[in-house]
Amino acid sequence: MTISISTRFDFRLDAPTDLILQFEAAAIPEQAIRSARTSMTCGDDCVRVPAHEAIGERILVHAEGRFEVAYEATVDVNRLAPELAGLEQLAPHDLPGDPLEYLLDSRYCPADRLQSFAEDEFGGTSGGDRIVAIHDWIAQHFTYEPGSSTPTTTALDSFVERRGICRDYAHVLITLARASTIPARYVSCFAPGVEPPDFHAVAEVFLADRTTPGGGAWYIVDATGMATPGETVKIGVGRDAADVSFLTSFGPSHFGDKSVTVTRAG
């Protein structure tokens, strides 16, 4: 599937401020960047470094005043998306080193506190079956409500209030997966069908890979149900939104306008 992306946003910095930006489609095997064009107020005066897990790039900027970003891209997504049901989970001692980190608590996903709930609600299931159960439980009990959460909202807040946006849905799923001893990470992305149109976020869980005995793989799960893995263009991954925000500002910033358009191009 080919996906067309167009986004613009701007913000204002009253004082010289350090920023991390990460908003571009990542160049990774499962998605080929056919074309891309980024224009930013900083011009070429930005530093680019590989982002978390070398998926995508972080752009480091020291700026002041009004800052504008425009980005256009066309991306071919070729991602297998098997049924999760029936996939086994790997015990921590069978995990490769990297996914192990994604079992631990993070800023917005304090999984230790939901261990009792996870066992109580989803006990008897494991692996892909448990992820499906968690997904369905969220779908049944949560309301997608733009404006109902803030940048400091954690998965526990959302768990209590039973509402949120894509970021919150992903955090709750990640937290419940980790509380089930299944590694889970946060994926910022573009996807068609997101309503209202915006940057999107989904989860990835690490489960057994049927094609590789003893091996495992990351599988996309969209707790909101709005995007499908085969049409999701990854920007970056991290433990949660703290790692892969499209704008991290080390000082006050005033957000302006934002538009995001994502369409199926063929």
The least distance separating a second copy from the CB of residue 239, rounded to whole angstroms, comes to: 8
Q: Site residues (CB under 8 A) for a second copy?
A: 18, 20, 46-47, 49-50, 52, 58, 60-62, 91-95, 97, 100-101, 103-107, 110, 112-117, 119-120, 141, 143, 150-152, 156, 159-163, 181, 242-243, 248, 250-252
Cβ closest to a second copy, residue 2 vs residue 137: 137
Nearer to a second copy, 228 or 248 (CB): 248
The minimum distance between CB 107 and a second copy, in angstroms, equals 4
| 60/74 Cα distance (integer angstroms) | 24
- Rounded least distance, CB 15 to a second copy, Å: 9
Query: Do 40 and 31 meet the contact criterion of CB atoms below 8 Å apart?
Result: no
AA letter at 166: C
Residue placing its CB nearer to a second copy in the complex, 11 or 73: 11
Residue 102 or 218 with smaller CB distance to a second copy: 102
Q: How far is the CB of 256 from a second copy (least distance, A)?
A: 14
Residue 4 or 199: the one with the smaller Cβ distance to a second copy is 199
In whole angstroms, the minimum distance from the beta carbon of 202 to a second copy comes to 20
Contact 69, 113 (CB under 8 A): no
Instruction: Output the smallest distance, CB 58 to a second copy, in A.
Output: 7
Between 83 and 120, CB nearer to a second copy = 120
